[in-house]
Structure 1
Amino acid sequence: MDSVVEMVEALESTSRGFAGVVPELARALGACSTPGCRAVLGHPPTVPAAPPTLSREQWLLFTQLLHHDTAAPERGAVLAPDGSTVTLGPLLAGIEVGLRRALGWAVPTLEPPVDALYAVTITEALGTSFLLARDSGGHRPVLGPAGCWDDVNDPQNYTLLGPPSPIPDAVANAAMDGVLLGAQLAQAPVPLADLLRGYYGTGNGTEKGRPPSSYRRRDFGALVAPEKLEEEVAAMLRVLQVLPPTRELLEDVEPEEVVAIAHQAARDFTEVYVACPAIVPRCMWGARPYRGTPKPLTLPLGSVYIHHTFIPSAPCRTFTACARAMRAMQRFHQDTRGWDDIGYSFVVGSDGYLYQGRGWHWVGAHTKGYNTKGYGVSYVGDFSTTLPDRDAIALVRDNLLPCAVRTGRLHPNYTLRGHRQMGHTSCPGNSLFHEIETWHGFK
C-alpha cells in the first residue's frame, strides 16, 4: 500500500491535487469492467499514455494492479500495514462515486434504482457470486478464501488458501473500504493520497497504533445494515436482468428467487465479514510448520479457556508487533517446551485481529487435561493488574464466541473458564479473570 500511495501522490501532483484523476485512470485500465459497474459509472475513458510523473516500473505495476481478471478476482491485491489485503478495483470505484457525489453528480437512471456506492463496490459481485452458486447446485464457493503473501516485508505474490469465489477476502475488504471511504469523500473531499495514507496508516511504519482500516468490519456494520445490503443486492440483480451482457445469465430467475438470493447473500456476507472477527492465518504471521501429525477436534466443543501470554507482557497494537509475538511464542513452545506447535487455538492482539494458532479444527496444548474439550484463547500481554483494551475484550466476548456458536464450532451451552480454574497457575491474571467472570458461559 505504501507503493500505491506514492504512485497516487505522483499522479495527483500533475492535476493540482484533484483526487478524481486516479479513479478515472483506474477505470481506463480496467478496474470497472463489469456490466453493473459500467452501467453506473459509464464506459471507461481511453487508456492514456504513461504519465511522466511515474517511472516505467511504477506505470507497469499500476496497470497490472488495475487489470480486472474474472478468473482471478484477487489479482490487483496489495498488502496494507494492518496486515489485511485489499484489491484496488472496488476500493477506487467506491472512491470515485464519493468524489462524484461531492461534486453534485447526477446519478444515472437505472431501473430499479440502485445505490451507486454499493453497486460498484459489493452488490454486483455479491449477487453474481450467489447466483453462480445457485446454478452450480451449491458446489461453487460464494465467499473467500483468505490468502497469504510470499513475504510480508517485501510482498510480491499473493496466493489464495483455497478455491476462489468471486469475492475472496481481499475483494471483500476492498469493497467495505470502498463504501466507507466513498461515503467519507462524499461529505468532505480530500486529496486521495492523504485519504489512503490516513486510513491505512501508511508511511508510519505501522508502529503508531491501530489505523482506521483495522476497524473496517465494525464501521461497515454500523453504516450498512443487513436489510439495506439485501435490498441493494436485489436491486442490482434486477438491473443485471436487463443489461445485455448479463441478461441471459438471469433470464430464468424468477422475482422470488431474486429475493431469496439477495437475502442469503446479505446474510452470509454480514456473518462472515461483519459479525465474525477477522483471523490472521498462520502463513501471514510467519508460522513454522507443525511438528508431527495434528489431532483433529470433534466439533462442536463444549468449553473455552481464557489465557494471557504473560510473556510477551505488553499488548501488541500493530500487525508487525503481533506477528513478532506469535513467532516468539511458537519458538518458545516448540524449542523450549518441546510441543508440536504454538499451544493456543487463537491469540488476541490489541490491533483488532485474532491470530490463528492451532485453529478451529486441531487439538491444542493450552490447558493440560482439557485440550480436546475446548478452545484455548490467549490475550497477548500480562493482565495481572490491568485489563486488555476494550476493543480486544469485545473481540472475543462479542464476536469470536457468538460466531463460534453460530458456525457450529462451539456448543450453544458452552462453558467459559479461566486457565487458573483448570490447573495451578495465576493465568489469565487477576484483572482479566475478574473481567471474564462477567461473560456469558462463565462457571
Structure 2
Amino acid sequence: MTLLLLLLALSVCAGTDTGLLPRSMDSVVGIVEALESADAGVAVPALARSLGSCGTPTCRSVLGDPPDVPPAPSALGHEQRLLLSRLLHPDPGVVLAPDGSSVALGPLFAGLEVGLERASGRLNRSTDPPLDALLAVTLSEALATSFLAARGGDRAALGPGGCWDDVENPQNYSLRGPSSLVPEAVANGAMDGVLLGARLARAPVPLAELLRGYYGTGNSTEKGRPPSSYRRRDFGGLVGPEKLEEEVVATLRLLRDLPTSRELLEDVGPEELVAIAHRAARDFMELYVACPAIVPRCMWGARPYRGSPTLLTLPLDSVYIHHTLVPSAPCRSFSSCARALRSIQRFHQDVRGWDDIGYSFVVGSDGYLYQGRGWHWVGAHTKGYNSRGYGVGYVGDFSTASPDADALALVRDGLLPCAVSTGRLHHNHTVRGHRQMGRTDCPGNSLFQEIETWHGFQ
C-alpha cells in the first residue's frame, strides 16, 4: 500500500495556513516572475518537483528522481519563500485562480515541466508500456490509483470541490466532503497542466507570461473571460475519452511492473484492469468535462437558508428559464457574479421574504453556473411549479439583447444534458420560459426567442 498511502498524503485536504501572502494564482505568478527575472538559474518546475510536487512512481518514471532541494532562492522575498514551501511541500497546495476556480499546483507544474522538456528535446526517457508523458504526470496516474482505491465502493473516486475562507485573501482551503485522490482542484490543475504543457511544447515562453495570460490577474477583472474558464471545453477538445482510457490502462500496467506499486495490482486481472480504466475515463470526462462547473454557495458568499428546506423528488420533469432583470448587466467575472448573487439573495430574503435565493442555479457570463438552491431543494422561482422543475436564472436584463453564445450553451449544451445523465432530470423533460407559467415578461423577449429553439421547449 506504499503508493496509495503516498498519494493519500499528496491529496488535497482541509488545512490551516497562517501565511501572509494570499494563496492565489497571482501570488504564484509573482513568485515565478521573480525567479525568471532574476535569472537565478532555477528552473521553476524542477524547483517545484524538488519540493515534493511530483514524486509518485509514474512521475519518477517519466521525469526521473526529483532533484535535490536547492537553497531558498535569493530572488524571492521571505514571504514568497514561505508561501512556495507551504504550497509544494509536503503536499501539493491549492490556490485560488482569478476566475474563481481552485487549482492544485502539483499537476500544473508537472505538466509545465513536461512541456519544457519536450520543447528542448530532453524528454528521452521511455517507459514500458509507452506513456503519453503529459497525461502521465498530470492525470492518468491519479485516476488509476483513485479508481483502484475505490473498487470496494467505500470511498469516492472523484471529487469533491472545496471552499476558501476568504476569496479576497485566500489562506485556508477546505473540502466539502470526504476526499478522493482526484478532488476538483486536482482535476483543474491536471487539465491546466495538460493544456499549458502542450502549449509550451509547441512554443516555449516565460512561465510568468504563460500563467498570467492563461489565468488573468486579480479577482475583479472585467476584461473578458480568461482562458482558464474554458479549461473543460479545451481539455475535452484535446483529450477525448478513448485517449484518456488508453493512458490510464498504460499507467496501470506500468504500476503493476514497478516494485513500489506492484502490490496494488496483485489481484487485478487484465479484464478488470481495462474495466477500471474505462470507468475512470468515462466518469472523469462526465464530471469534469461534459458537466459544467458550478460555483458553490460558500464561494459566492451566500447567507444561510432560513427555516428548513424541502427535498425535491428526482428526477424532475421541467426546467424554467428566467432572467434576473436586476442586476440588468450581465456579470463577466467571478467577483462581479458573486456580488450579483449576494444582491439577488438579499432581495429575495429581505424584500420578498423568501427563505433563500429563489433560483436553483444562476448563470453568469463568466463561463460558470452558480449554485442557488441546487439540485436537491425546492426553490422559489416559478409559482405553482417550484417542486416540478429547476429554476435557472440568467444574470441580466435580456428583453432586447440575448446572453452571450457561451452563456446560452452553458445551460443548453451543458447543464441540461448533465442533469439528464446524472438522473436529476427526465430524458423527455420540457424547457419553458417563466412567462409561460405566469403573468410576467420574464425571461425577456430576446432570451425567450433563444430558448424557443432548444430541445424540449414546449
TM-score (norm 1): 0.97
Deviation at 1:54, TM superposition (A): 1.0
Deviations 1:29-73 (A, max 9, x none): 00011111111110011111111111222112101101244xxxx
Aligned 1:44-443 pairs, distance under 5 A: 44-69=66-91, 76-134=93-151, 137-202=152-217, 205-443=220-458
Match of 1:6 in 2: 30
SS at match of 1:326: helix
Aligned 8 A contact 1:197 1:203 in 2: no
Distance 1:415 1:409 in 2: 13
SS at match of 1:364: coil
Deviation at 1:105, TM superposition (A): 2.3
Aligned 8 A contact 1:102 1:188 in 2: yes
Match of 1:40 in 2: 62
Deviation at 1:203, TM superposition (A): 5.1
Aligned 8 A contact 2:307 2:355 in 1: yes
Q: Which moved more, 1:101-110 or 1:78-87?
A: 101-110
SS at match of 1:174: helix
Deviation at 1:257, TM superposition (A): 1.1
Aligned 8 A contact 1:80 1:86 in 2: yes
Deviations 1:369-415 (A, max 9, x none): 00000000010011111110000000000010000000000011101
Distance 1:222 1:356 in 2: 26
Aligned 8 A contact 2:141 2:252 in 1: yes
CA RMSD of aligned residues (A): 1.1
Distance 1:138 1:349 in 2: 36
SS at match of 1:417: strand
SS at match of 1:235: helix
Deviation at 1:271, TM superposition (A): 0.1
Distance 1:242 1:333 in 2: 59
Deviation at 1:208, TM superposition (A): 1.2
Moved over 4 A (4+): none
Amino acid at match of 1:145: P
SS at match of 1:244: coil
Amino acid at match of 2:243: K
Deviation at 1:258, TM superposition (A): 1.1
Deviation at 1:107, TM superposition (A): 3.0
Aligned 8 A contact 1:15 1:21 in 2: no
Deviations 1:145-187 (A, max 9, x none): 0000000001010000000000010000000000000000000
Match of 1:72 in 2: none
Q: Which moved more, 1:202-211 or 1:23-32?
A: 202-211
Aligned 8 A contact 2:220 2:333 in 1: no
SS at match of 1:241: helix
Aligned 8 A contact 2:295 2:368 in 1: yes
Task: Work out which of the residue numbers 13, 19, 22 in structure 1 matches 2:44.
Answer: 22
Unaligned runs of 5+ in 1: 70-74
SS at match of 1:63: helix
Q: Which moved more, 1:6-15 or 1:261-270?
A: 6-15
Deviation at 1:256, TM superposition (A): 1.0
SS at match of 2:60: helix
Deviations 1:105-128 (A, max 9, x none): 243111100000000000000010
Deviations 1:312-349 (A, max 9, x none): 10100100100000000000000011000000000000
Q: How many residues align?
A: 434
Deviation at 1:206, TM superposition (A): 2.2
Aligned 8 A contact 2:433 2:448 in 1: yes
Aligned 8 A contact 2:108 2:138 in 1: yes
Distance 1:320 1:130 in 2: 35
Amino acid at match of 1:253: V
Deviations 1:282-322 (A, max 9, x none): 00000000000000000000010000000110100100100
Amino acid at match of 1:128: T
Aligned 8 A contact 1:5 1:193 in 2: yes
Distance 1:204 1:380 in 2: 18
SS at match of 2:383: coil
Amino acid at match of 1:10: A
Deviation at 1:202, TM superposition (A): 1.5
Distance 1:106 1:26 in 2: 18
Distance 1:110 1:39 in 2: 7
SS at match of 1:202: coil
Deviation at 1:205, TM superposition (A): 4.1
Amino acid at match of 1:337: R
Aligned 8 A contact 1:94 1:117 in 2: yes
SS at match of 1:416: strand
